[in-house]
Amino acid sequence: MQTLDSSEDADLELMFAEIRRYPLLTADEEKVIDGKKWAAVAALSNVFAEVDDLRATLADLLTNALERPPEVKRFPSREQHFTLRRELAPYFSDGDLAAAATEAARNLRKRASLKRHEKAVQDLAIPASLTVGIAVFMLRRAGGQFSDAVADAIGHWSRHWLTPPAPFALEPEVLKTIRRALREYTEARDALVMHNLRLVHSISGRYRGRGVGYLDLVQEGTLGLIRAAEKFEYAKGFRFSTYCFNWITQAVRRYVGDTGSLIRLPTHVQDQVNKVYRERAIEQAKTGMEPDAAQLAKKLGMDKQKTKEILEVRNLAVSLDAPRYDDDEGSMVDTLTTDQYGDTTGNAERDSLHRFLGEAVDQLESNEQAVVVARWGLHDGPPLSRSEIADRLGVSREWVRQLERSALRKLKSQDGVQEAFQDYQQVSSA
């Protein structure tokens, strides 16, 4: 069992004491609580359809989702950008509900009956978390306040809409309805979360000893539980504990895969590594001898070469404090040389190459320049992936790839580019 320091031990005791205050829910109790949650979501959707200013704001949001989707550079953190794209993805021009979003944006701006406006909102099938985020965003435009992460992201995105939204005034009764629905939704969601926190602690305990603190695992598992509480629908016939189990497990496993080791592996690769090493430990406990790749492959029904590669995955990192040889008192760090200030000649050659490449890039078309500069970090920031560049330029990843190929082909054909790079390589190797 992982050793805990006194502060973490005290924190755990406080959390366990809090959890014991919330017993597990019965099926009927879950049904009542989740019914209140979805009744609050339905009330917010009805308000969207009834009030002119709210209809116009929802139509503007849909139009901008179709024509001006959120770009990562517009947000103070990538997490906000991810949150908003996750919620709005179906309503983008290439999303599953793009046609419904286009039709709803048009109908919500027309003068029509309340029934028609309500149908336009219902056809969008807006998820609960996005409905609440839009409602909080609208409430803030009317001068109200409410805490919500999705609304925060919408607020940053709205500053870059085709026409930034202006504040508006709402009737006191409308404000009261929105606040009451938001409060009922939050209370119902939080009730589902608090009565199932013990499941988070149980699942997090299974992933102890993998390079991640237990409290961090509990935190990530709780985020997965909150997401499950937002999406759960009792009408589909499942118990909430059954539904949220996979959400919690997925959140914890992803966090362990991202931060539990020096080198991050894809989740499916990490699962294969755990499977192979688990089987190796079982065989070693049975026979007292460490099985080789062929034996493990036979036991697991895997390819021998694949099993061998998986066994080598954990050997990608070496500690600098490790000895160079078995009988050596020195460590790997003793063999490293320092070059704090670099070589003056090398710096001059590198600066010269950068100036030359800058002049070569300036001869490209503007969109090709933007892709090359962002792709190889020629600006002040780090190199960006094709997906991030596509978000920044508002185009597809395939278009970015084509621009990149076109730019490289033009640079390669320019006189002196290859010669300059070869000269730089010769100076660097000298």
**Nearest-angstrom CA–CA distance, 357 and 364:** 11
Chain-centroid distance of CA 173 in Å reads 37
Contact 116, 88 (CB under 8 A): no
Flag whether pLDDT at 241 surpasses 70.
Answer: yes
Regarding predicted confidence, which is higher, 143 or 364? Answer: 143
pLDDT of residue 353 exceeding 50, the answer is: yes
Q: How many CB atoms lie within 10 A of CB 248?
A: 25
pLDDT score for 390: 81
Mean pLDDT over the full length of the chain: 83
Q: How confident is the model at residue 412 (pLDDT cuts 50, 70, 90)?
A: confident
CA triple 318-319-321, angle to 5 deg: 140
* Distance, C-alpha 324 to centroid of its chain: 40
Nearest CA to 41 among 142, 157, 126, 139? Answer: 126
Per-residue model confidence (pLDDT) at position 3: 46
Encode pLDDT of 302-328 as tens digits.
Answer: 888 888 888 877 666 666 666 666 556
What stretches of 68-196 show up as alpha helix (H) in DSSP?
Answer: 78-88, 98-108, 114-123, 128-141, 149-158, 172-194
The rounded distance, in Å, linking the Cα atoms of 66 and 357 is 37
The pLDDT-based confidence of 4 (bands split at 50, 70, 90) is: very low
Pair of tokens at residue 1: 């069992």
Residue 96 has pLDDT above 80, yes or no: yes
Higher confidence at residue 422 or residue 28? Answer: 28
Which amino acid is residue 333, in one-letter code? V
Q: Which of 34-48, 95-109, 234-248, 293-307 has the lowest mean pLDDT?
A: 293-307
Q: Which residues pair with 323 in a beta bridge?
A: 331
Q: Full-prediction pTM beyond 0.85?
A: no
C-alpha distance from residue 74 to each of 64, 67, 79, 93, 126 (Å):
14, 16, 12, 19, 24
Cβ–Cβ < 8 Å for 15, 149: no
Q: What is the pLDDT of residue 134?
A: 96
The Cα 257–Cα 46 span in angstroms is 42
Q: What share of the chain is helix, strand, coil (3-state, %, to 5)?
A: 70, 0, 30
* Whole-number Å distance between alpha carbons of 60 and 160: 12
Query: Sign of torsion, CA 138 144 149 154?
Result: positive
Q: Among all chains, which residue has been given the structure tokens 């560049």?
A: 389
pLDDT in tens, 166-218: 899 999 999 999 999 999 999 999 999 999 999 999 999 888 877 788 888 99
Could you count the other beta carbons within 10 Å of the beta carbon of residue 127?
16
Q: Between 12 and 183, where is the model more confident?
A: 183
Q: Is 331 helix (H, G, I), strand (E, B) or coil?
A: strand
Which of the 8 DSSP states describes residue 291? -
Least confidently predicted of 21-30, 168-177, 269-278: 269-278
User: One-letter amino acid identity for 105?
Assistant: A
Q: Are residues 81 and 72 in contact, defined by beta-carbon separation less than 8 angstroms? A: yes
Q: Domain 196-259, what fold?
A: Rna Polymerase Sigma Factor; Chain: A (1.10.1740)
Q: What is the mean pLDDT of residues 76-84?
A: 89
413 sits in the region (left: phi over 0; alpha: psi -120 to 50; else beta) called alpha
Q: Which CATH architecture has domain 344-429?
A: Orthogonal Bundle (1.10)
